[in-house]
Structure 1
């Protein structure tokens, strides 16, 4: 089943990892781990926000914006880190609100990474994430009332859009490895001291 972690095995994901590593001076494997934890968390936060009519309308409007139409995913040889950082700052403010600093601190502590670098990685990843969602939304002609299903699919918990999502993400046949240990820790099934078995906690409302 396709999930957001598959992006890490695509040219877009590899370019993001390399560029984020260069910008923050963090090792690429550490950036990969940070993204493996952060991308599902951001998706879970968006899914939680989209449960309200206002939140769903805001997300729908953002994904309809042409800058999130998926073009960014095709220009991986020339990712503009300053643009990603600036655009990502706006996106995270909408998605995480006043919890952004807390989340950066907590994830940074888990990864032994300073909060500033973790926050920079989150900001650079956010526009990529919205480009994935915007591209998928257009391919499947998803309206505002279908956003919850779309987000569930990209989280790997809903099969409705999986076949199309795989085509959106992968330039090859999809047999590349997914970071299963990270996926288990985030989405449940791995060792965790969280009561719901998931690092996402309240963002997704449990699984």
Structure 2
């Protein structure tokens, strides 16, 4: 499975960047920069959720019921005439459960690093959330993934090769329990055996039950 950096450099990635740029009014270059930071953040939150059997089951359930990747087969329809309100609402719901109370911190951090205002960042994230979940769903189907181990492996592949700046950003913004190991496979850390329960993983598990 290609990592997120490869995705953004692919034809599919360029369609996503162009579509979001047209929707938000941000330039394609800045949009690509924001997505380069935002997609790993969202994937990191998903990976944290999938670290528990309940969270992995809920995520697989969401993939099987709604986010199977079909949205990526018709990006022209998704972006054509502007992204419709149902997709925006879907993205907002995903973000709320992925990021919880950290959503504004994530938006402000991406705003600071990109130079875009936080409102435009919020728009980009709402559009990107169902697309990255659809990408995970597409890869899940193609690789016949049906269990926690396979899901974690896919998410690890998506996150592989992240630059140190992204690793630090993900850890600081998504690591809700403060143990510093949200991306154990990327940052070279081992998740502690006594991690606190709940946090983002619990929130996302609640969404995907």
Q: 1:137 aligns with which of 137, 140, 151?
A: 140
Where does residue 128 of structure 1 map in the other structure? 131
Q: What residue ranges of structure 1 are gaps of 5+ in the alignment?
A: 158-182, 189-197
Residues 50 and 148 in structure 2, CA contact (< 8 A), matched pair in contact too = no
Give deviations 1:46-104, integer Å, cap 9, x for gaps. 11122223322221111112x32221111122224124322211111221112111111
Cα deviation, residue 8, structure 1: 1.5
User: CA separation in 2, counterparts of 1:119 and 1:21?
Assistant: 13
Cα deviation, residue 137, structure 1: 0.9
Q: Say if 1:131 and 1:104 are closer, same or farther in 2 by CA, change over 3 A.
A: same
- Aligned: 1:115 with 2:108: no
User: CA separation in 2, counterparts of 1:78 and 1:185?
Assistant: 36
Q: Over the residues paired in the alignment, what is the CA RMSD in angstroms? A: 2.0
Residues 92-101 or 26-35, more deviating = 92-101
User: CA separation in 2, counterparts of 1:46 and 1:7?
Assistant: 17
In the TM superposition, 1:24-173 aligns within 5 A as 24-65=24-65, 67-80=66-79, 81-82=83-84, 83-146=86-149, 147-156=151-160
Residues 37-46 or 140-149, more deviating = 140-149
User: CA separation in 2, counterparts of 1:57 and 1:93?
Assistant: 19
Q: Say if 1:186 and 1:76 are closer, same or farther in 2 by CA, change over 3 A.
A: farther
Residues 69 and 134 in structure 1, CA contact (< 8 A), matched pair in contact too = yes
Residues 108-117 or 71-80, more deviating = 71-80
User: CA separation in 1, counterparts of 2:46 and 2:53?
Assistant: 13
Where does residue 204 of structure 1 map in the other structure? 183
User: CA separation in 2, counterparts of 1:12 and 1:132?
Assistant: 10
- Aligned: 1:21 with 2:21: yes
Q: What residue ranges of structure 2 are gaps of 5+ in the alignment?
A: 176-181, 189-209
TM-score (norm 2): 0.74
Cα deviation, residue 186, structure 1: 4.3
User: CA separation in 2, counterparts of 1:62 and 1:85?
Assistant: 17
